[in-house]
Amino acid sequence: MNMILKMVFKRIALGLLTLLVISVLIFVGVEALPGDLAEAILGQNASPETVAAFRQELKLDLPAHVRYFAWLGGFLTGDLGNSLANGRPIAELIGWRFANSIFLASAAAVVSVPVSVVLGLLAALKRNTLFDKIISMSTLSTISFPEFFVAYILIALFSVKLVLFPSISSLNDHMTFVEKIYTITLPCLTLVLVVAAHMMRQTRAAIINILSSPFIEMARLKGLKQSRIIVLHAFPNALSPVINVIALNLAYLVVGVVIVEVVFVYPGLGQLLVDSVAKRDIPVVQASGLIFAATYIGVNILADVLSIISNPRLRNPR
């Protein structure tokens, strides 16, 4: 157990280090954006004095490293600063939108993970049959389409033709849970279609890889049923690669919702990020970027820890 704790601790420390590096990258990246915020906000005709005063007020005249540490310090103490565009605290802007993004991503995960793992198991079980080929082909096609395309196809089909679900997913606090789920059906389905293929194919590949192990031959020669061999003998040993691909896709769900949120006008963090980039609202962009990065790293650490725990050799040392 001690060894596991040590490894987990190491992973977390590495994750924090990565996050620090990313914070530098985000800061530098945003600095490198062309155009000037003051001019963008005040307009082309503003006098140089007004621009200078504006810059001073926002501390844009200070050297970059000073601003970086001030920003990072603020971030660590929970003060994300204020939006440049409207002066409101960023925490307030981001908070409920981030919650909305997580809600959408979780809904997609709750559907896609079990479905794709079960489909992957079934495909491995019925390898090279028609069923396997149909699953492989259909998942491959959904993975090949860009998500905005999938989104518009779904809108055309389910909102325009069949009029089953709304094409605009605007959430509000007065909705019940069921209403919320109904509202996000289409964006959720889009995300499911995009990530499920990847997870399903990885599950199938991992299981098939394990099926050539001597202990699977042993299970066959013990006269066990094929379904039992796949579920009880192959799957536990395929957990590590499966967990990793699930984590990768969960992280993608949280981070990659941007386009889907825009298509469905969903009030999430991605939507805010896109708006803020257009408005050159640098502090909001930076904060959103860092939150996305933290989520991504967090999910990956979780996956690492889970796949360590799924290894019986590490869980039960000699």
Partner 1 sequence: MKKLLEMRSIYIEGLSEEKWYPIIKGIDLTLNRGEVLGLIGESGAGKSTLGIASMAYTRMGCRIRSGSIVFDGTELTEATAEELRTLRGRRIAYVAQSAAASFNPAHRLISQYSEGPVQHGIMSAEKAAGEAKQIYRHLLLPDPEFIGYRYPHQVSGGQLQRAMVAMAMACRPDLIIFDEPTTALDVTTQIEVLAAIKRIVREYNTAAIYITHDLAVVAQIADRIMVLRHGNLIEENSCREMIVAPKEEYTRRLLSVRAFDGAKDLDRKQDEVILDVRGVTASYTGNTNVVEDIDLAIKRGRTVALVGESGSGKSSLARVVTGLLPPVKGTIVFNGNRLSGELKRRTKAQLRSMQMIYQSPDTALNPKQKISKIIGRPLQFYFGLGAREREKRVLELLEKIELSAKYYDRTPMELSGGEKQRICIARALAAKPELIICDEVTSALDQLVAEGILKLLQNLQDELKVSYLFITHDLATVKAFSDEIVVMLKGRIVEQGPKEEVLVPPHHEYTDLLLSSVPEMDPDWLENLLGRRRKEGKISTVMDS
- Residue 228, interface with partner 1 (CB under 8 A)? yes
Q: Which range binds partner 1 by CB under 8 A, 52-60, 191-199, 214-222, 255-263? A: 214-222
Of the residues 141, 170, 213, 227, which one makes contact with partner 1 according to CB under 8 A: 213
Q: Report the C-alpha gap between 203 and 125 in whole angstroms.
A: 11
CB of 118 to partner 1, least distance (A): 19
Q: Binding to partner 1 by residue 36, rule CB under 8 A?
A: no
* Cα separation, 171 vs 267, whole angstroms: 7
**From the CB of 297, what's the least distance to partner 1, in Å?**
29
Exactly one of 224, 242, 262, 300 binds partner 1 (CB under 8 A); that residue is 224
- Minimum gap (Å) between residue 2 Cβ and partner 1: 15
Give the shortest CB-226-to-partner 1 separation in angstroms.
9
- Minimal distance, residue 38 CB to partner 1, in Å: 58
Q: Does 128 sit near partner 1 (CB under 8 A)?
A: no
Among 17, 129, 215, 227, binds partner 1 (CB under 8 A): 215
Residue of 160, 82, 154, 108 lying closest to 268 (CA atoms): 108
Name the token pair of 105. 């991503």
Q: Which CB sits closer to partner 1, 78 or 214?
A: 214
CA dist., res. 248 & res. 187, Å (int): 19
Single out the residue of 6, 59, 88, 222 in contact with partner 1 (rule: CB under 8 A). Answer: 222
Interaction of residue 219 with partner 1, rule CB under 8 A: yes
Of 10-18, 140-148, 153-161, 230-238, the segment contacting partner 1 by CB under 8 A is 230-238
Give the distance, in angstroms, between the CA of residue 141 and the centroid of all CA atoms in the same chain. 21
Question: Is 6 one of the binding residues for partner 1 (CB under 8 A)?
Answer: no
227 contributes a contact to partner 1 by CB under 8 A: no
Q: Binding residues for partner 1, how many (CB under 8 A)?
A: 22
Residue 11 CB, nearest approach to partner 1 (Å): 22
CA–CA gap between residue 36 and residue 252 (Å, rounded): 31
- Nearer CB in complex with partner 1: 69/215: 215
Q: Is 221 in the site for partner 1 (CB under 8 A)?
A: yes
Q: Which of residues 247-286 bind partner 1 (CB under 8 A)?
A: none
Residues that bind partner 1 (CB under 8 A): 212-215, 217-225, 228, 232-233, 236-237, 312-313, 316, 318
